[in-house]
Amino acid sequence: MSQDNKSFFDFTSPFKLKRPIEIFQKSQKDQFYVLKQDKFKLKTFVLQRNYLIKFSSKKPKQQFYNITNSLLEFVHHPLMGTGISITKNGENITFFGLVENCYSNLRKWCIQLNFQKEYCMIKLIGKGSFAKVYKIQRLSDKKEFAVKLFDKTTFKCQDRPALLKEIELMRIMNHKNVVTILETYENEQYIFIIQELFNGGELHQELKKTKTFSEYGAFIIIQQVIEALNYIHSHGIIHRDIKPENIIMREQGMIEQVVLADFGLADYFRKDCKYMFTRCGTPGFVAPELLQDKIYDYKVDIYSCGILFYYLLLGKGPFDSNNYDQTVMGNFNGWVDLTKFQFSIECLELLRGMLDPNSIRRFTIEQIQQSSFFRKYSTVFQQNTSQSSLGSIQSQGDSITNSPLQSPILEQKKFPSDLKNKYENSQVSSIQSPMRLNTRNYSPLSAQLGKIQNLQRIPIQI
C-alpha cells in the first residue's frame, strides 16, 4: 500500500501531545541521531507502551508522541545508515543509530506495509465470517506465527470501530494466559494481525474427545482463566465472551498452558453500560443480567467462567438445547440446578458462587481464589511437579446421583412472552459452535427492563 492511499487506521488524534506523560524511573533510555537544521544531533528517547518521549540534550523540555497506529518504516541514509521513520496524520519523526531493538518494541503499536517481504504463508488454519487465520513463517529466522487476515473490501462502516477497539485492547495485553498482538500490517486490500502460534487448538475441540474432566482437571483450566480475567479486569477491561471456543491451548493436550483469546466483544468497563456492543455474548454462556437489560459489570465474566466450569465437568452447558429459544430462555433466567450432581462439597460451593444469578451475591475473583476448592487443588497442583496432559487427567464419571448439598431454591424470572419472535430459529448443541448475541449501539438505559430488542446472531469470529 502506498503512503498516498488512505489507511484503515487513519486518525484525527494528534501525533504530538501537548500534555506531559509520566516518565517512569525504570524506563529504558536510548540515544539516537535526529536531523535538525541540516545537522544530526544526539537525542535521548524513551518508549513507554504507546508513547515515545524525546528529550532535548540542552533543555529540560520533552516532546511526547502518541505512536498508536502510526506508519512504521525502516529508512536509509548514506551517512547515518539505517533509521526509523514514524508517520502519523502528516507528521513525522525520523532517527538513526542502533535502531533494531527499538524497532522490535515499536512494531506492536504501529502499522507496517511490507508483510510479504517479512513473512510467507504456510497454510490456512481457521476461517470465520470476518477473518481467515493462516500459519505463517518469518523469513528472517524461520520462526512460525499465526496471522488473522481481514479483507477490507468486505467491511461495513460499523466494522471499522469494532476492529480498531479489538486491536487496541489486545495490544495492551501482556500476560501468559492472554493472547496479544505482536505486529500489524496493512496493504491495499488486507489487514494482517500477527499473533503467537498456538498448536494446541481450542478447548472445545478437546472436549469432544475427552467428554469431561475430573474436578482436578477442571481446576487446572479454570484457575488459569481466572488469572487471565484478574489481569484484564485490572486493566479496566471486560471480556464478555468466555467459552470453550475462546480458550486456546499452547500445545496439544497441555491443559496447564491455556490462553484466553478473542477480544471481539471486549470493551473498557463503563458504569453507565453504554458500550459499542451492549447485549452481546454467546447463548448459554451469557450472564442473566446482560440478557435482562440491566446495568452490569465485571461479574458477567465470572458467570460465563462458571458456565465454562460446569461445561468442563459435565461435557455440556446447563442451558444446552436443540432449540435456540429454550437455550436463551434458560440463560435469561440464569438458574442452574446442581442438586442432581455428585461433586465434592467444595466444587458445588464454588459452582453456586460463580453461577449465582444475582450479580451482587455472585463470587468475586478474590472469593474464587480463596475458595476451599481452589485451596484444595492448588496444594495438589503445587505438589505435582510433572506436567499434566489430557491423558493423565482423570475424567469425571457419567453417573449422576443426588448431591449431599441442595442448591438454594431461586425464583425464576418470567421470560418475556414476545421474546420468541425476536430470535431466529436455529439449533445450538453442545458440540456445535454457538452463535453470538450482538446488538450494536444499544444501552439498557434506553429500553424497558427485561425486554430484548433487535437481537442478531453473528457467527463466531476466529
**Residue 241 annotated among the catalytic residues of the structure:** yes
Which residues are CB-neighbours of 116 under 8 A, at least 6 positions away? none
CB contact at 8 A, 356 and 307: no
Which residues are CB-neighbours of 395 under 8 A, at least 6 positions away? 210, 211, 212, 213, 214, 217
Q: Catalogue the E-assigned strands of 254-354.
A: 258-260, 267-268, 277-281
CB contact at 8 A, 427 and 324: yes
Q: Catalogue the E-assigned strands of 210-337.
A: 237-238, 247-249, 258-260, 267-268, 277-281
Which residues are CB-neighbours of 182 under 8 A, at least 6 positions away? 107, 108, 145, 194, 195, 196
Instruction: Report how far residue 108's alpha carbon sits from residue 425's, in angstroms, rounded to the nearest whole number.
Output: 42
Residue type, 109: W
Residue type, 193: I
Residue type, 418: D
Instruction: Report how far residue 235's alpha carbon sits from residue 91's, in angstroms, rounded to the nearest whole number.
Output: 30
CB contact at 8 A, 178 and 272: no
| Catalytic annotation, pick one of 241, 262, 267, 356 | 241
Residue type, 381: F
Query: Per the annotation, does 340 bind a ligand?
Result: no
Q: Which residues are the active-site residues? A: 241
Q: Which residues are annotated as a binding site?
A: 148
Please report, in range form, the residues annotated as the binding site for ATP.
Answer: 148
